[in-house]
Copies of this chain bind each other. A is one copy, B any other.
Amino acid sequence: MIPFNKPFLTGKETDYIKQAVESGKISGDGIFTKKCHQFFEKRYGFQKCLLTTSCTHALEMAAILLNIQPGDEVIMPSYTFVSTANAFVLRGANIVFCDSRYDHPGMNEDSIEDIITERTKAIVPVHYAGVACDMDKILAIAQKYDLFIVEDAAQAIESYYCDKNGKKRPLGSIGHMAAFSFHETKNIISGEGGMLVINDPQFNERAEIIREKGTNRSKFFRGEVDKYSWVDIGSSFLPSEIIAAFLYAQLECIDQIQKRRNEIWTTYWEALKEVEQSQMISRPFIPAYATNNAHMFYIVCQSGQLRDFLISKLKALQVLPVFHYLSLHKSEFYSKKNIQQELLYSDAYSDRLLRLPFFYELKIEDIRFICATISKSVNEYALITQNN
């Protein structure tokens, strides 16, 4: 069987967990959390990093920090994970969805300006598959209308945006804030886990408070106040040191992990080149301004029927691909409260995108087998549909 995902262990995770336990501190913000923060701040130049219990929670922190109030509008793609939206809905926001690009599942940057109103407070670009949105465009719009940008960088670790001046900017370093995920399906994992990145220092102090249950406990530990107490709303967003220790073992091997994932991605890319010429499936498009962090490999099928056909063929051979997001604007929760909308490309990706197995230990011969199965099945499907 070839599963869709298999968490990869670098080998040091349990050693570091033991170290954390032996240090006498396994609640949040111990030695390993600090090491992770330092790693990210140093490697990517993020102004301030705060590990969180999930990427969902990093987004919730961002919503609280932006002081989102009932009726505020937040713009994001419909083709995204539910948490991108729910984090803001929990604060009372109205979500305004924009369509995906025709060439990529990411949001269509050119459609953002049309849906801005006086109530718009923030834009949440999602770097789908770790591929950058066109941030120069989004930055210009945000500046023009005085909006905040929260990057949903859940899938975007170790990926870059090349701006109009030719500068390579790490994803997560561009918006006012950014949220990362270390869920087991990501490049770097801790089971469940996430991180809030703050690039605008005006949010630093309150972020610490909100993450510490609305108390000034971080100040207390730094000796800046003599008691800590309730000063704001907040939640418990600190992950255990057990999680941070696990994550740090992964971060130490990020180059090794990325090297391997790039090999996997390139193998898929090459092996599916020929079948793409049939125009029945297409491989991922990566704009010139974006790098590829090899987070996932997907194909876009010509139709939903073809996708279903491929899924059944692959599953019959014990290969487990997965489709992805259902457009959020068509969800039960959203559609019953909002005006019906047509977002053609978002729906197209919902119906037709297929994610292929992708994990560190995936064998090259297995990738070839998957791609050969896809090629064969596409031809088979063409024959069946021609005959009908």
User: Which positions in A face B, CB cutoff 8 Å?
Assistant: 3, 6-7, 9, 13-14, 17-18, 21, 24-28, 53-57, 60, 81-83, 85-87, 89-90, 183-185, 189-193, 213-215, 227, 229-236, 238-243, 246, 326, 328, 331-334
Q: Do the beta carbons of A214 and B333 come within 8 Å of each other?
A: yes
Q: Which of B7, B18, B86, B229 contacts A25 (CB 8 A)?
A: B7
Known A25-B184, A236-B83; contact A230-B90, beta-carbon cutoff 8 A: no
Q: Which of B6, B27, B214, B331 is in CB contact (< 8 Å) with A86?
A: B214
Q: Which 9 A-B pairs have the closest CB atoms?
A: A191-B240, A230-B331, A56-B236, A26-B191, A54-B236, A192-B240, A53-B53, A27-B184, A230-B333
Bound complex: CA A240 to CA B193 (Å): 8
- Identity of the chain B residue whose Cβ is nearest the Cβ of A235 in the assembled complex: B56
17 A–B contacts, CB within 8 A, in A order: A7-B25, A14-B17, A17-B242, A27-B192, A53-B192, A54-B236, A56-B236, A60-B235, A85-B230, A86-B234, A192-B236, A193-B240, A229-B333, A230-B328, A230-B333, A231-B333, A232-B333
Assembly stoichiometry (copies): 2
Known: A230-B328, A232-B333. A9 touches B21 (CB 8 A): yes
Q: Contact check: which of B60, B82, B242 meets A215 at CB < 8 Å?
A: B82
Q: Would A27 and B191 be within 8 Å (CB), given that A9-B21, A232-B333 are in contact?
A: yes
CB distance A21 to B27 under 8 Å?
Answer: no
Q: Distance in Å from the Cβ of A115 to the closest Cβ of chain B?
A: 19
- Residues of B within 8 Å of A53, CB to CB, are 53-54, 57, 192, 236, 239
With beta carbons under 8 angstroms apart, the residue of B14, B193, B233 that contacts A90 is B233
* Min CB–CB distance A269 → chain B (angstroms): 26
Which residue of chain B lies nearest to A326 when distances are taken between CB atoms in the complex? B229
Instruction: For A182, give the chain B residue with the smallest CB separation.
Output: B240
Q: Which residues of B contact A89 (CB under 8 A)?
A: 233
Contact of A213 among B21, B56, B233, B235 (CB under 8 A): B56
Residue in contact with A17 in the complex, picked from B17, B241, B328, CB distance below 8 Å:
B17
How far, in angstroms, from A81 to B3 measured CA to CA in the complex? 44
CA distance A185 to B54 in the complex (A): 22
Contacts of A334 in B (CB 8 A): 230
Q: How far is the CB of A255 from chain B (nearest CB, A)?
A: 21
Q: How far is the CA of A238 from the CA of B56 in the complex (A)?
A: 11
Q: Which of B3, B28, B229, B331 contacts A24 (CB 8 A)?
A: B3
Cβ A86 vs Cβ B192 within 8 A: no
The residue among A17, A24, A191, A243 with the most chain B CB atoms within 10 A of its own CB is A191
- For A333, the closest partner residue in chain B by CB is B230
The interface residues of chain B lying within 8 Å CB-to-CB of A234 are: 82, 86
Q: Could you say which residues of chain B place their CB within 8 Å of the CB of A26?
A: 7, 184, 189-191
Q: Is the CB of A231 within 8 A of B3?
A: no
Across-interface contacts of A192 in B (CB, < 8 A): 27-28, 53, 236, 238-240
Instruction: Give the complex CA separation of A9 and B18 in angstroms.
Output: 10
CB distance from A18 to the nearest CB of B (A): 6
Q: How far is the CA of A86 from the CA of B214 in the complex (A)?
A: 8
Q: Chain B CB within 10 Å — which of A3, A9, A57, A213 has the most?
A: A213
Closest to A359 in B: B24
| A191 to B242 alpha-carbon distance, docked (Å) | 7
Question: Please, which residues of chain B bring their CB within 8 A of the CB of A25?
Answer: 7, 184
Cα–Cα distance between A192 and B332 once the two chains are bound (Å): 34
A236: B residues at CB distance < 8 A? 53-57, 83, 192
